[in-house]
Amino acid sequence: MFEELSELTGFAIIATYGFTFAFYVFKFIFMKFGARLKQVPKLQKTLAWMLKFLRRFHRLTGILTIGLILMHLVLMVVDEGWNLTGLFAAGFMLAEVGMGAALAYLKPKTKTVRIIHRLTAFAVGIAIVVHIV
């Protein structure tokens, strides 16, 4: 039973991480290709709507991810014991959410913290792949 629940929470973590990471991808598309997107108004409108949607739920999915990480950790420790790669992935995710929380309340928002927050998202993706493989 614990194995199925831990796998389910693991997949849910990947889904929430993917949703949160998609925000960065869409933001990058708009920053790099904004002028070209104006040439295709329907695509620009659709991508703008998606970016707005992702932005609206970015913070919520970050909080949800923390809850899922803690649940996954408890289930995995009970079922299989400690896993070093899982601890690294969870540590990167906790650091990423911590920086996101700092950005939410930091005045003024520093560019350095934003860049580190985005780079940590890449590190999380790599850590998740290593953990699964």
**What's this model's pTM, rounded to 2 decimal places?**
0.79
pLDDT tier for residue 53 given thresholds of 50, 70 and 90: very high
Kindly report, residue by residue over 58-114, the tens digit of the pLDDT.
888 888 888 898 898 888 888 888 888 888 888 888 888 888 888 888 777 778 888
Give the contacts of 19 (CB within 8 A, at least 6 positions apart): 54, 57, 61
Kindly report, residue by residue over 113-133, the tens digit of the pLDDT.
888 888 888 888 888 889 888
In the predicted model, what is the mean pLDDT of residues 15-22?
88
Domain that holds residue 26: 2-132
Domain tally for the chain?
Answer: 1
